[in-house]
Chain A
Amino acid sequence: MRVALFVTCINDALQPRTGQAVVGLLERLGVQVDFPAEQSCCGQPQFNTGYRQATEPLVRRFHRAFRDYEYVVTPSGSCAAMVRDNYPRIGAKAASEGRGRDLQQIAAAAVPKTYELTEFLVDVLKVTDVGAYYPHVVTYHPTCHGLRMLGLGDRPRRLLENVRGLELRELPGAEECCGFGGTFAVKNPAVSAAMGADKVRAVIGTGAEAVCTVDNSCLLHIGGTLARQGAPVRPVHIAEILASTEASTEGPEVPTEGPDAGTVGTEGSLR
């Protein structure tokens, strides 16, 4: 099986390890991974801030990059949701403004083949045990777009529960938004920070070594808040956990000690 990796702009520029983990994981599962270089951003930041027309060239670019593939896999719940929920809206609005139906057709083609990583693993590859080994205490935060727009349900949890060595700790108030919300984080910084602080308090309270999500954008916010507080909990994308094996030498060495390791109430959880 051959799939195209839609790595997303944030992962490309800031979290390449996540993309590398997806490549390693899928190849280990016998999938051939391509990275169409023409890909770029899905357009979510523009669209969600109100710049719909500025999003359209990115929709077309997505189409050019991925039109020849049967499966597009992305390690981002919110970018997958952008394609699946919002591309059709962009197409419909363009058509209603009398600017042709091609964006609608592009969206119709993109929607059924775009998968968030855990969806692809569970629904297409039909695996929940990917042979991963990750001997750490982890808590899982279901990100809003994964949870409510894509309806990922328990897929990420099922994958994590089958990781050897991993102890999964329940996150209280897991389904509450972390407060990132794209440009919300800078347009309403006080509320965003207050939400982030509550999320981080819950994360630290689990005693986990790492907090995991299906989205690095939320992790930038959660991890940035954790780091500012000097908390020794490390943000890690689920792909990096699923890519880890006993044999893996590179990839995530989680967790490295934070700046003030051990000063926050997580006794016994750090190696």
Chain B
Amino acid sequence: MSGTYLGMPAFPRAAAASTRDTRLRANLTHATHTIRDKRARAVAELDDWARLRAAGAAIKDRMLRHLDHYLERLETAVTEAGGQVHWAADADEANRIVTRLVRETGETEVVKVKSMATQEIGLNEALAEAGIRAYETDLAELIVQLGNDLPSHILVPAIHRNRSEIRAIFRREMASWGRPAPEGLSDSPAELAEAARLHLREKFLTAKVGISGANFMVADTGTLVVVESEGNGRMCLTLPETLISVVGIEKTVPTWQDLEVFLQLLPRSSTAERMNPYTSTWTGTTDGDGPQTFHLVLLDNGRTDTLADTVGRQALRCIRCSACLNVCPVYERAGGHAYGSPYPGPIGAILTPQLRGTAGKLEASLPYASSLCGACYEVCPVAIDIPEVLVHLRERVVEGGPVTRGGVRTVLKPARGHAAERAAMRAAGWAFDHPGALRAGMRLAARTRRLHPRRLPGPGRAWSDTRELPAVPAESFRDWWQRTRGEEARDEAARGEGSAK
């Protein structure tokens, strides 16, 4: 695993490899079950959780339905408060803007707060090409960066690593990035966190440029909000002279008051805390306090295409809490890398195919990376009906239809590779709509049932490799009913009664 998600195989193949990796399975099971139970307790503390959730969904929907209005309002407010707003239609443009802004400072190093948007656009790689070194400062991001690895979880990008692997990475890699790991570093989480503190401190104290994302942007006031735990966010948002925030346009919320909902929903869903240790808010620049230059880069990169789909649009409510990952039985076994993007798990399975389109093999396989068990929807703090969107996207993959790509409405052809399935589905649909034929088929199956193999060849192996096939009964329900209660049976009963007289 290294540096890029490009060229990753379709989900089933990558996921199959993960299921055989016993260490990965153990790490993920341990971590997801720990947080799952904590979240349930944190949520149970609030009697009005369902109402908060409904309010959160409604606020995001209000914003999405009038996104143009709220973006313009946000831009005005940020500008009036001393910030500079830039617009990026896609990843390349965002990377070009940020690279230019960093170059204008004359610096060649930046410190970064964990940001999904900058991972999505591959900012670190773009900066590296321009000779600018970006230091990730979130502990898990640091583990990923030092390990030349990829994030596999939204909240805990190094969830696939256990403490002894992290110790090995720190001991091996820290020296080439700055302050080496302390002598005799053990694998206790407290010691590992201390090693990260020491390693990063010199970066924070000397950094001139910070790069962040944001959890929320308040349109009314121009305020940005970053929710974090370690204090690396505060360091990056406060100490540098220049701050560049790259934020997806859907992170907007209309009003200051709206934060009262999200600052309750997010921490409890995410880290399962009543409140995360640190939340920073800032509005433009403040004289003498914090960065004196502030740039906000508003990122589209497929979001407006997603917005154009009236069913898929709800994915843009996402506040990146990662509760859906932590309860997902598929994520737990497949691991985050199988999803081939910074957005793994159920939300990734609906976000990635919408942001990138379904033309690629990986993207087309993601809507199927779910048993539709619905656990994700149940825990989602903004009530994204992920199973509904998954099925909606499956339809897009197999049947095609109208979509928007790069802002242009177009009609998608059905994906290749589904021809046999489509034929089978049509045949099944026909048979189910012709019960006479279906009944004949069932009778044939019943008569030949002793000849049925226990294991199937070809695609059927996917079932019979690990599971027995069900035995075909001697008589279908339909035939039983007909024989015992149907017209034939009634006629027979009538004849019986007649002859007895």
The interface of chain A, by Cβ under 8 A from chain B, is 7, 9, 11-17, 19-20, 23, 35, 37-41, 43, 45-55, 57-58, 61, 86, 89, 144-145, 147-149, 175-177, 179-197, 220-221, 223-225, 227-228
Q: Is the CB of A225 within 8 A of B377?
A: no
21 intermolecular pairs with C-beta atoms under 8 Å apart: A14-B471, A37-B482, A41-B428, A45-B428, A48-B394, A49-B398, A50-B394, A51-B426, A177-B371, A184-B368, A186-B462, A186-B463, A187-B462, A189-B463, A189-B465, A191-B16, A191-B330, A193-B19, A220-B470, A221-B467, A224-B469
A188–B12 touching, CB < 8 Å = yes
Q: Is the CB of A181 within 8 A of B470?
A: no
CA distance A225 to B468 in the complex (A): 6
Taking A50-B398, A51-B395, A177-B329 as known contacts, 18 extra A-B pairs with beta carbons closer than 8 A to each other, sorted by chain A number, are: A13-B445, A19-B481, A35-B481, A48-B391, A49-B398, A54-B429, A86-B391, A148-B378, A185-B462, A188-B11, A189-B462, A190-B15, A191-B333, A192-B371, A193-B467, A195-B330, A221-B467, A224-B470
Inter-chain contact B375/A54, CB cutoff 8 Å: no
Name the residue of chain A whose CB is nearest to the CB of B445: A13
Interface residues in chain B, defined as those with a beta carbon under 8 Å from any beta carbon in chain A? 11-12, 15-16, 19-20, 25, 329-330, 333-334, 367-375, 377-378, 388, 391, 394-399, 421-422, 425-426, 428-429, 432-433, 435, 438, 442, 445, 459-460, 462-463, 465-473, 475-478, 480-482, 485-486
Kindly name the residue among B371, B378, B472 whose own CB sees the greatest number of chain A CB atoms within 10 A.
Answer: B371
Q: Top 8 A-B pairs ranked by shortest CB distance?
A: A181-B371, A224-B467, A50-B394, A190-B16, A177-B373, A16-B477, A148-B374, A144-B373
Chain A residues closer than 8 Å to B399, beta-carbon distance:
50-53
**A51 adjacent to B429 (CB under 8 Å):** yes
- Beta-carbon contact of B442 and A12 below 8 Å: yes
- Please classify the interface of chain B as helix (H, G, I), strand (E, B), loop, or mixed, using the class held by over half of its residues: helix
Contacts of A39 in B (CB 8 A): 435
Bound-state CA distance A221–B433 (Å) is 26
User: How many Å lie between the Cα of A187 and that of B334 in the bound state?
Assistant: 14
How many whole Å from B346's CB to the nearest CB in chain A? 12
Q: Is the CB of A188 within 8 A of B330?
A: yes
B429 partner residues in chain A, CB cutoff 8 A: 43, 46, 51, 54-55, 57-58
Contact between chains at A181 and B372 (CB < 8 Å): yes
Closest to A35 in B: B481
| B397–A46 touching, CB < 8 Å | no
Q: Choose from A20, A43, A188 the contact partner of B369 (Cβ within 8 Å).
A: A188
A13 touching B472, Cβ below 8 Å: yes
A-B pairs with beta carbons under 8 A, tally: 199
CA distance A250 to B32 in the complex (A): 46
**Are the CB atoms of A57 and B433 closer together than 8 Å?**
yes
Complexed CA–CA distance, A19 and B368 (Å)? 31
**Across the interface, which residues of B come within 8 angstroms of A176, CB to CB?**
329, 373, 375
Given contacts A12-B477, A40-B435, A48-B394, contact A188 B425 (CB under 8 A): no
Closest chain B residue to A55, Cβ basis: B429
Do residues A148 and B375 form an inter-chain contact, with CB atoms below 8 A?
A: yes
Please give, as numbers and ranges, the residues of chain B lying within 8 Å of A89 by CB-CB distance: 388
Q: How far, in Å, is A213 (CB) from chain B's closest CB?
A: 13
Least Cβ–Cβ distance between B475 and chain A, in angstroms:
6
Chain A contacts of B469 at CB under 8 A?
Answer: 224
Q: Which of B20, B333, B482, B485 has the largest number of chain A CB atoms within 10 A? A: B333
Give chain A residues whose Cβ lies under 8 Å from the Cβ of B20: 190
> Knowing A13-B472, A38-B435, A190-B15 touch, does A195 contact B465 (C-beta < 8 A)?
no
The CA-CA distance from A10 to B364 in the complex, in Å, is 29
User: In the complex, A253→B477 CA distance in Å?
Assistant: 18
CA distance A38 to B395 in the complex (A): 27
B residues less than 8 Å from A45 (CB atoms)? 425, 428
Contact between chains at B438 and A224 (CB < 8 Å) = no
Partner of B433, one of A13, A58, A145, A186: A58
Docked pose: A20 CA to B481 CA in angstroms: 8
Q: Are A37 and B435 in contact (CB under 8 A)?
A: yes
Q: CB-nearest residue of chain B relative to A259?
A: B468
Beta-carbon nearest neighbor of B338 in chain A: A191
Residue of A49, A145, A147, A175 contacting most chain B CB atoms (<10 Å)? A49
Contact B373–A148 (Cβ < 8 Å): yes
Measured CA separation A189–B12 after assembly (Å): 8
Tell me the minimal C-beta distance from B451 to chain A in angstroms: 17
Query: A145 touching B374 by the CB < 8 A rule?
Result: yes
Q: How far is the CA of A225 from the CA of B463 in the complex (A)?
A: 10
Q: Which residues of A contact B432 (CB under 8 A)?
A: 9, 40-41, 43, 58, 61
**Are B369 and A49 within 8 A (Cβ)?**
no
Contacts of A147 in B (CB 8 A): 374
Q: Do A40 and B438 have beta carbons less than 8 Å apart?
A: yes
What residues on B are CB-neighbors of A52 within 8 Å?
395, 399
A85, closest chain B residue (CB): B388
CA A13 to CA B158, docked complex, whole Å: 47
A19, A144, A145, A224: the one within 8 Å of B477 (CB): A19
Shortest distance from the beta carbon of B179 to any chain A beta carbon, whole Å: 41
B468 touches A194 (CB 8 A): no
Report yes or no: B467 in contact with A50, Cβ–Cβ below 8 A.
Answer: no
B19 and A191 within 8 A (CB): yes
**Of A17, A177, A197, A228, which contacts B375 at CB under 8 A?**
A177
A20/B433 contact (C-beta < 8 A), A14-B472, A228-B467 known: no
Query: B472 contacts which chain A residues (CB < 8 A)?
Result: 13-14
A181 in contact with B370 (CB, 8 Å)? yes
